[in-house]
């Protein structure tokens, strides 16, 4: 039994023109049984930084709680929100603290940095950061997501087109993965608004 495939997950983030999109599936399973069809994998840290966590669901929730705590502390001390690249370094450090007994999660971090420049990155379960200019993927459906995103992505897409692209990539990829699916959760973030949408896909 593979521990990373215990709950099933799919998370993807894409960069657009002064905006980004982050999407995940909604299934929570225990191996072959589906337990929930509305599991939240993507969480808002603040208005301009989102984190999506794939992997073992208990670690997803624990890690999220720890990160929210650390960010609130940062807000109190610095009297401002964290920049996405700073937040990514924080996540990386927290994961590496547990180098020999890691959190079994693969985070996907997406945010708007200075001058509304979109930032995305992913890391492995012990904090090795991978910055990308186009898209990042994570979860049991990651290989399918790589193929779909590579074929569908183009640079400098506007918010609406980015939403369509990331949704199509997510839905076609999770349809080829037994452990993820049951709809999708997409956040499209521009400097002025955050649009949250639920996708209806194959419910199986």
Partner 1 sequence: MTKQHANWSPYDNNGGTCVAIAGSDYCVIAADTRMSTGYSILTRDYSKIHKLADKAVLSSSGFQADVKALQKVLKSRHLVYQHQHNKQMSCPAMAQLLSNTLYFKRFFPYYAFNVLGGLDEQGKGCVFTYDAVGSYEKVGYSAQGSGSTLIMPFLDNQLKSPSPLLLPAQDAITPLSEPEAVDLVKTVFASATERDIYTGDKLEIMILKADGIRTEVMDLRKD
Nearer Cβ to partner 1 (159/171): 171
Q: Do residues 45 and 87 touch, judged by C-beta distance below 8 A?
A: yes
Residue closer to partner 1, measured from CB, 91 or 199: 199
Rounded CA gap, 44 and 179, in Å? Answer: 24
Is 164 a residue that touches partner 1 (CB under 8 A)? no
Give the separation between CA 178 and CA 28, rounded to whole angstroms.
Answer: 12
Q: Is residue 143 near partner 1 by the rule CB under 8 A? A: yes
User: Which of 44/176 has CB closer to partner 1?
Assistant: 176
Residue 94, interface with partner 1 (CB under 8 A)?
A: no
* Segment near partner 1 (CB under 8 A); pick from 76-84, 96-104, 123-131, 172-180: 172-180
Contact between 32 and partner 1 by CB under 8 A: the answer reads no
Q: Which of 29, 168, 175, 49 is nearest to 113 (CA)?
A: 49
The encoded tokens of residue 133 equal: 């200019």
Least distance from C-beta 177 to partner 1, angstroms?
9
d(CA 27, CA 33): 10
d(CA 98, CA 86): 19
Query: Which residue, 69, 71, 93, is CA-closest to 83?
Result: 71
If binding is defined by CB under 8 A, does position 18 make contact with partner 1? no
Could you say whether residue 133 binds partner 1 (CB under 8 A)? Answer: no
H helical segments located in the chain: 57-78, 84-97, 142-152, 159-174
147 binding partner 1? (CB under 8 A): yes
What φ, ψ does residue 190 adopt, rounded to 5°? -115, 170
In this complex, which beta carbon is closest to partner 1, that of residue 76 or of residue 151? Answer: 151
Q: Interface with partner 1 includes 5 (CB under 8 A)?
A: no
- Residue 148 as a binder of partner 1 (CB under 8 A): the answer is yes
Binding stretches for partner 1 (CB under 8 A):
143-148, 150-152, 168-169, 171-173, 175-176
């Amino acid at each position: 039994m593979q521990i990373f495939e215990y709950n099933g997950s799919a998370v993807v983030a894409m960069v657009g023109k002064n905006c980004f999109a982050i999407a995940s599936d909604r299934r929570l399973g225990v191996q072959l049984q589906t337990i929930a069809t509305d599991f939240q994998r993507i969480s808002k840290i603040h208005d301009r930084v989102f984190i999506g966590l794939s992997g073992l669901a208990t670690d997803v929730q624990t890690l999220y709680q720890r990160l929210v705590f650390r960010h609130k502390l940062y807000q109190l001390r610095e009297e401002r929100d964290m920049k996405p690249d700073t937040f990514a370094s924080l996540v990386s450090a927290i994961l590496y603290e547990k180098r020999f007994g890691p959190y079994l999660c693969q985070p996907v971090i997406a945010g708007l940095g200075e001058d509304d420049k979109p930032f995305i990155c992913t890391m492995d379960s012990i904090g090795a950061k991978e910055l990308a200019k186009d898209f990042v993927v994570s979860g049991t459906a990651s290989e399918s997501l790589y193929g779909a995103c590579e074929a569908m992505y183009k640079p400098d897409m506007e918010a609406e087109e980015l939403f369509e692209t990331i949704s199509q990539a997510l839905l076609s990829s999770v349809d080829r993965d037994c452990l993820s699916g049951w709809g999708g959760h997409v956040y499209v973030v521009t400097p002025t608004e955050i649009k949250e949408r639920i996708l209806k896909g194959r419910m199986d």
